[in-house]
Structure formats: C-alpha cells, structure tokens
Amino acid sequence: MNLYEFCYGIIHWLVDLVNNLWYWLGDVLPWVFGDFFDAVGDFAASDSNIAFFTILTEVLIIVIIALINVLNFIWLDRKFMGRMFDFYGPYYVGYRIGGWLQNLADGIKLFVKEIITPAKADRVGFLLAPVIFISSSFLALATIPLGRDFGIATNESGAGVPAGVLVAFAMFAIAPFSILIAGWSSNNKYTLIGGMRSAAQMMSYEIPMLLTVASVLLLAGSFSFSGVVDAQHDLWFAIPLFLGFIVFMVCLMAEVEIQPFDLPEAEAELVEGWTTEYCGMRFGLFMMTSYLRGYIGGALATALFLGGWHGPELIPDPIWFLIKAYTVFVIVEWTRWSLPRVRVDQILDIGWKRLMPLAVLNLFIAVAFKTMGWF
C-alpha cells in the first residue's frame, strides 16, 4: 500500500460515512428537499471527487511531515551548533525532549510580533515574494518520495512521477526569483544588493549542479526518483561519481545559502540581506523555508547520490531516507559553522572557473561509465 492508496482508503471511508448520513437525511426529510441529498451523495462518492480530496490529504500529510522535519532540522542545527560552540543549545523549553519545543516557542514569539510593511515598499512584490518562496519550496518537496511508495506525487500504480527529478529541481530554482523580488520591492539598499547577489549566485551555481544531476540521470537512465534510487541498489552513485558528489554538495550549499555562500544574507555587511525589511512571522516563514530548503537539499543529495531509501532491512525505507538526509544536513552545518563567508567575486570565480569544469569532467566520466556498459 502506498501513500495514495492509504489516503484514498481514508477519504473513501469518510465519504461513505457522510454519504450514509445524507442518505438517511434524504429518507427522513423527503418532502422538504426531495432528491437533493441523493444528488449530493452521488457527487461526493464520485471517483473524481474522492481523488481530489485524496490528493488534498496527501498534500496535508506531506506539509505536516515537512513542517515537523523543519522543526527537527532547526532543533538539530541548534543542538549541533551548541555542541560545536561549547554550549547546550535549546534546553529549557521541552526539557524532557532535549529542548525540542524551543522552536515552537520561537514560532509563537514570531507570530505575536507586529508585521510591518515599509511605507515606501512596493506592496505587491513585498507580499508576493514570501508566497513564491515558500510555495515553490514546498512544491519541490512534492516529487521527492521518502520511500518506494511513500511520496505525494505518486500515480496510482505507486511509481513516482516520471520526471520527478526535473520537477524538483525546477521548483528548487524558482527561489532566486522571489528573493530578487523581495530585495527589490523592500526599497532598501541592503535588500537590493542581497537580491542581486542572490540572483547572480544562484544562476551561476545552477548550471554545475544540473550538470552533475545530468550525470546521475545518465547513469540511472531514468528521470524519476524511484528509477534513480533503484539504480543505486548495488552501488551508490556517490562512489563512481565522487567528483560530481562534491560539486553537487558545494552547489547545494550555495543554492540553500548556507554559510560559506550565504552572501545574499551576509549579516555582517548587509544587516540581514534580502530579509532585512521582513519582520514577525514573515521573517519566520523565510527562515523556516530556508531550513526546509536545507532538508530538500539533503533529500536530493540522498536520493541522487546516497542510495535513497536503500539500506539494511532492519529499518523501514522512509527512516533510512530521513537518516541519510539528516546526516547530509549535519555535515553541511558542520562546514557552515567552521568556514568564513566568501566574497561575491570569489563566489562567482568558484562557480564558473572551478565547479563548472569539474561538473563537465564529471559528466564525461558518467558518459564513459555508460559507454563501457558498467551501468
């Protein structure tokens, strides 16, 4: 049973329940409404309607999973940072579960803060930017399955979407657009510079990243996550494509704006970068989404290079997937706290002069493997 069937079952049961109520009402009150209840019941029980609600339920489940993952990630980040920095990290709120509730407390604090829109900001862009940023990030999550049959965008036979990898990366790449809008519409010099930096950085890092992804897809011979992961049943792609894995991780850190490459929000020179003018829960949503993007990055690296949900049978598939994604995230955090920030011209140099040739070389290696018939 995959996630779709699970949700379908639940929705079907619910609809039946409600329908019975309506049929009963139709029996009891026929002189008032006539056949109205029967018509409603038939409509509700139609396949298309149930499928619609099934997909909504799936989306809800995935969003809840994503949000819990984000809370976990923030908690993990702060705990790990605390251990690196010689303090405990979150401790008192949720004392029994290691301070896990601290994030919820912070979220509540952000919720009750006043939300200010700057007087001279471009209101439409200012309000639209978070929406695009958050929704595109959640959409990127849509096609990434946690297990063979546990993901939102699965069709009814349980296989993933045919071009899931492409959809995920396309959604992942929308964010710089919203960052640029946010930076420009805030009408602030720092946000403007941050937005421009973000655009330049993400454009120059998108290409080597997609080249490494192309090498993976070439070896796997499939555009769907299930295909890519199944191709790694015997050997993780991180081993033959080690070069590509390194390039991918560096590009990922740039895409997710993690510390050595967090130029768009370099807090030392640009105050808070492109989020400077956002306050309250809008900023909270931005921050939450950046952690969500960290999770997506870890999930992408896991699915494409680290064998996805394959692992010893002891642990269920989705848990394997999460363990790997969390490990990738922790390693990224480790580099994040122990490296200074690079400069804007240097980041472009790294992207175009170092990573780009390496990515092309990696693609050649993949082609060579494929022509030798090893994959």
* Site for other proteins contains 83 (CB under 8 A): no
The residue assigned the tokens 């079952």 is 9
* Site for other proteins contains 263 (CB under 8 A): yes
Stretch of 57-65, 84-92, 248-256, 277-285 lying at the interface with other proteins (CB under 8 A): 84-92
CB atoms near residue 90 (< 10 Å): 20
Q: Which amino acid is at 125?
A: G
* Site for other proteins contains 27 (CB under 8 A): no
Q: Do 183 and 192 meet the contact criterion of CB atoms below 8 Å apart? A: yes
CB atoms near residue 41 (< 10 Å): 21
Instruction: Tell me the HSE value of 364 on the side-chain side, using a 13 A CA sphere.
Output: 6
* Site for other proteins contains 265 (CB under 8 A): no
Q: How far is the CB of 153 from other proteins (least distance, A)?
A: 37
d(CA 107, CA 74): 11
What letters, b where the CB count within 10 A reaches 16 and e where it falls short, cover 167-200? bbbebbbbbbbbbbbbbbbbbbebbbbbbbbbbb
Q: How far is the CB of 354 from other proteins (least distance, A)?
A: 12
* Site for other proteins contains 253 (CB under 8 A): no
* Site for other proteins contains 354 (CB under 8 A): no
Q: How far is the CB of 191 from other proteins (least distance, A)?
A: 12
Q: How far is the CB of 194 from other proteins (least distance, A)?
A: 11
Binding residue for other proteins, selected from 255, 262, 277, 317, defined by CB under 8 A: 262
Stretch of 39-47, 231-239, 318-326, 331-339 lying at the interface with other proteins (CB under 8 A): 331-339
* Site for other proteins contains 120 (CB under 8 A): no
Q: Which is nearer to other proteins, 46 or 338 (CB)?
A: 338
Q: Which is nearer to other proteins, 35 or 269 (CB)?
A: 269
Q: Which is nearer to other proteins, 136 or 188 (CB)?
A: 188
Binding residue for other proteins, selected from 97, 112, 345, 373, defined by CB under 8 A: 345
Q: How far is the CB of 298 from other proteins (least distance, A)?
A: 21
Stretch of 97-105, 116-124, 277-285, 341-349 lying at the interface with other proteins (CB under 8 A): 341-349
d(CA 284, CA 70): 12
* Site for other proteins contains 116 (CB under 8 A): no
Maximum Cα interatomic distance, the chain, rounded to a whole number of Å = 79
Q: Which is nearer to other proteins, 194 or 298 (CB)?
A: 194
d(CA 79, CA 87): 9
Q: Do 208 and 217 meet the contact criterion of CB atoms below 8 Å apart? A: no
Q: Which is nearer to other proteins, 18 or 84 (CB)?
A: 84
Q: How far is the CB of 349 from other proteins (least distance, A)?
A: 9
Q: Which amino acid is at 346?
A: Q
Q: How far is the CB of 68 from other proteins (least distance, A)?
A: 27
* Site for other proteins contains 353 (CB under 8 A): no
DSSP string, 221-260: T-SSHHHHHHHTSSS-TTTTTHHHHHHHHHHHHHHHT-GG
Give the helix ranges, DSSP H, for the chain: 3-28, 30-33, 36-44, 47-84, 102-111, 123-142, 164-172, 175-185, 189-220, 225-231, 242-256, 281-305, 317-338, 344-349, 356-372
Give 275: exposed, middle or buried? Use CB within 10 Å, 0-12, 13-18, 19+: buried
Q: How far is the CB of 358 from other proteins (least distance, A)?
A: 16
* Site for other proteins contains 91 (CB under 8 A): no
Residues 188-247 that bind other proteins (CB under 8 A): 189-190, 193
Q: How far is the CB of 305 from other proteins (least distance, A)?
A: 24
d(CA 163, CA 166): 5
Count of residues touching other proteins (by CB under 8 A): 26
Contacts of 253 (CB under 8 A, 6+ apart): 259, 260, 261, 297, 332, 335, 336
List of residues contacting other proteins (CB under 8 A): 81, 84-86, 189-190, 193, 259-260, 262-263, 266-269, 271, 337-346
